Every structure is written in structure tokens, then in C-alpha cells.
Structure 1
């Protein structure tokens, strides 16, 4: 009987292996869209004159050979409060840059991109950011009491709505980690944000150890950008699981004035950013 059972199992395994069949699946592709990466970030302590904007086109998910950089476009930003115009020169590699930008906190700016005879417009306000007042490390305030975490403290301005974006990155990590927050329940108080890393062999990521250095960026962002990036981060964080919902299309603020059916991806933002780093002890 045992020999008979072993024979049946072996037969079933061989039958399964011999029935492998390659199935070609047609993956739907969408029309290529313009992608506008226009982040005007004024780092505290600098003039903010040097800025760049990247233009590319979307491509199929599995397409790794198509050249997506956009050259030959017209890119300019106007301070609509002062009427000063900043032309971004084409560098021939998909990036457009200027060395004469003038950042003014609270002023409104308009982006104009002309590509393939279509004009894209976006408007935003340059938002200030508080100073980072203190950075500490601990193992008790986050999710795992055995992992090192970095804690960043800053004072939120009183009697006004404020929105923030944080970026944490350690050299050799595959991706930086972003988080968005508002002062809805913390207005006028000290705010602290923390960051810890779990070991992730798939992404070649290790938890923090003494001697590691983490880069820390704190951005002041508008409410509109906060709503945009919050949804984007939520979809990124919940994607890939067996029970995750299908991602909804998230629209940026770059509007096609020529053909509204041919929308662009991306966002035009202006922020003041506080950049620093911390070495774990």
C-alpha cells in the first residue's frame, strides 16, 4: 500500500510538471502622458537661485528601453505678485534649469510648460518652514522598542494652518521615506516626528545602528499639496497586498490649457526646506 501511494504521488508530480504551459497575457497600455516634476525647493541658508524642473513621458510598466526624457519644451515660472519671469533652459537631458530664481515666502508663482504645441499651467504659493530645534535618538517612542529611531522636533507657528512633509534617507537605501502631517490638533505647539527602520532584505535595508547617518528634510507645504501627497503616500503604502484596493487616479495641479483630455502627471510645488543629518550614537 505504501509503495502504491508513493507511486501515485510521483505520477501526480510528473504529470503536473509535464503540463506547464507558457501563457501570453496582453497587458493594456495607456496613452503616453507628459510627466512634470517641478519641485522648487528653497533650502534654508541658501539664495535659492539654482532650481531645476524635470520633464519626461510616461511609459508602459514593463518597458525599460524607451527613452522618456522630454527635450525641446518651453518652461518658465512667473512670480505673479511681482510679474518677474524666470526662464528654465533646456539642458538636453530632460531637465530644465535656471540660476536666477528669486524665492519669496508667501508669493504666488505660475508654471508654464509648452510641449508638442500644448500648454500646461500650474499655480502654487511658496510656503515657509520652521527651524528644526532638536534631534534625538531613542528606542522607546516608536513601534519596536528594540530598534533605534531618530526624533525631530520643531515649533509650529501659532494661529495659522500649517502642513509639512518629511523625508528620511540613509545612504544605500533603495528609497527615501516620506511622511506628510498637518497641525490640525497641534497648532502652536512643539511637534515631533520619529523615524525607525525595520530590516528588509528584499529592499537591501537594515535597521539603524550606532554610526549610521540619516539625512533629514523638513518641508513647509501648501494644503493643496498636502492633500495630493497624502493620497499618493497612502496608495503607495497600501499597494501590493492581497487585499489592497485598486489605486485611484490622483490628479496633480498641472492643467492642460490646450487639450483638457490630455492631462499631465506630476505636481508644481514651492517649498522652503530645512535640511540636516543625524549620526546615531
Structure 2
């Protein structure tokens, strides 16, 4: 059985759909819809990996408030084991996300919790039996980077909109065996990926929204097309779903092209629902859609 440790944020968020992101001036606009739901990049990866058939341990920080109860309920799955440290102030992470149809968004943090305790023994035990460690951008992930490396556990990192210059993402980018980044703030995505592979990363991937993705491994470049879906409902968590599809594909024994195609497919399925990531996807469903994804060496 494949086991994955995921460490990082889980939140309870309010998502507000707007026709466009607001301009930096005082004005009024009308929402096109809104809902509350599970948030946090690590939670999105965990529920999608579980749906794809992997056993997942999610290590995160939660409060003892009503929002924590909502998060726990949303994460309830036979394949998800939740290890939640208590937030110092008892408050669960919360955001208000303004989301536009083109996929752009603004996240307003209402609560950003921290835990008092060091890495729990249960998290290290989960790391010991993990086939991969997904270490998301969070203070609690920092000691796990070295711990995973010491144990020979492959490290997967999603550095989101890293621009290559900021300090916080550096240890994650430097440690990752497989790296995912968004093109949003990269002046030269190819140079960024090349630098990561030159530094020892086995596979570096840059997602580009509706333009698909590019990837680099030791043998060269990949161009990854977009899986076709009839309607885009909500782009929240699409990157997490791509990541989960790629990880599940490689751990299932797919070659790089097949895993990249599965990542594209799961990411596309994520945008057809208001759920975070793709918690309703199956591996068979993803692989059926992946057959329509053009993945090629360039």
C-alpha cells in the first residue's frame, strides 16, 4: 500500500466569486456567488490523493473552534489520517478568497495559526513509513525537510508563486526531489526550472493555467497540454489537484509522460467543482481524461 505524508495548512475559508479582481480604489461591486468550504493547500492535496487511492497522513495545525470541526468533517475519509497540532491561540486558519473567472484571486488571511509544540513523534513515525513526503510551505515543514532527507524519503514541494528571489521558499526549492511552481511571478520559468534541475531536483514542473505546463527532468523538456473539460466552475485548488495527480501517477508506476498527463487531467477535473482540489476523482476517471492530454518532449 502506498503511503504519503502531507504536512502543511488546512483551513476553513470563505470563497467569493467576483467578475474581476477589485481595483485599488474605494468602490462597490457585486459578488457572483459565495460559499464556505475546506481550504489550505495541504488539505487540497490530501483529499485528492485519498480519492486517487493513496493512504495519506495529513499533519497540520487546527484550533479548538467551530471552524476546526468543519475542517475535520471535510477531511473525513477512510484513507486520510489527520494529525492536528493545537493552534497556539485556539483559532483555525481562515481566509477570504476573492476569485475571478480568469483564475486570478486575492487571499485575505483572517487567521494564521501557529503551534507551540515541536514536530510530534506521530508525524515522524508517518514519515518513516512514507513513500513520499509532501512538505508544503509552512514553518512546521522546515524540520521535516532534513528529516526526510536523512531517511531517504523523496521530498515533494509545491512552492506556488515563488519568484526565485524570496527567502522563505528557498529551503523547500533546494531540498525537493520533485518541485511544482506556478508561472504567476516568474519572469523566466525555463531558467527557474533549469536552475532547480541543475541543483539536483529530479523533476521540476511549472503550471501555466490555461496554457498547460512545462516540465524539466535530466533528459530534457516536456510540454504538457490542458485536459479538456466542458465548463470551468472554480479554479481553487487546481494546482493542488495537478500535484496530486502527478504524485499518484509516479507512485503508481506511470512513466513521466503518463504522470504529467494524469496531473493535467486531475487539475482539469478540479475546476469543474467548487470543492477544494478533486475529492471526487478516481484514478480510472483521471486516466481516461489523461488520454486526451498532449504531453511531448520539446
TM, length-normalised to structure 1? 0.26
Bigger Rg, structure 1 or 2: 1
Tell me which of the two structures has the higher relative contact order, counting C-alpha pairs closer than 8 angstroms and 6 or more residues apart: 1
**Could you state the TM-score of these two structures normalised by the residue count of structure 2?**
0.25
More helix by share: 2
